[in-house]
Amino acid sequence: MAHEHAKPADLTRNQELVLGALNHAPAPLSAYDILDRLRGDGLRAPLQVYRALEKLVERGLAHRLESLNAFVACADSHCHRKGLIAFAICEICGKVDEFADAVIEERLGGWAQQTGFKVERTTMEIRGKCAACLAAA
C-alpha cells in the first residue's frame, strides 16, 4: 500500500478530489476513469480533470504513465526533486510500483554528460508480472 503524501494545504478542491481518487485506486486511472469516479462530487467536464491532473503532475504529487495513458498518485516523496522515476507495471493485476534507483540515475547522468544531452525528465516503465501474481499463478 502506497503511503500518502502529507496533503499540501494549497490544493484546489478539484485537485484534492482528483488526488483522492488516485490515492484510493488500486491501479492507474485514465482521465475518464477519474471523471467517472468524481461525477458525484460535481466534476462534470473532462477539462476540469485535465487541469487538476496537470497541476498535480507538475508538483510531483501524481505521475502520468505514458504507456498506459493513465495516472497514479506519487508513492514517495523522492520525486519532488528532478530525477529518474521508475514504475514497475504488473500486466496481470495492473498494480504499479514506483521506485527510484540512484545507480541507474548515475549511469544516465554520466551518459548525458558525455553526449552533452540535457535531460529534463526520465521515466522508466517496466512491464511484467508482480511477485503476488507470480505466486498466485
Which helix (H) or strand (E) segment holds residue 96: the answer is strand 96-99
Q: Extract the runs of DSSP E, i.e. beta strands, from 18-93.
A: 62-65, 70-73, 84-90
Single out the segment in contact with Zn ion by CB under 5 A; choices: 35-43, 48-56, 74-82, 105-113. 74-82
Single out the segment in contact with Zn ion by CB under 5 A; choices: 8-16, 33-41, 50-58, 84-92. 84-92
Q: Which amino acid is at 87?
A: F
Among 54, 92, 107, 111, which residue interacts with Zn ion (rule: CB under 5 A)? 92
Q: Is 88 a binder of Zn ion (CB under 5 A)?
A: no
Single out the segment in contact with Zn ion by CB under 5 A; choices: 17-25, 51-59, 86-94, 112-120. 86-94
Question: 73, 77, 15: which is closest to 48 by C-alpha?
Answer: 15
For β-strands 84-90 and 122-128, DSSP reports them as parallel
Min dist CB 96 to Zn ion, Å, is 10
Q: Is 74 a binder of Zn ion (CB under 5 A)?
A: yes
| CB 78 within 8 Å of CB 115 | no
Per DSSP, 55 falls in state H
Give binding residues for Fe cation as ranges. 105
- Residues near Zn ion (CB under 5 A) are 74, 79, 90, 92-93, 130, 133
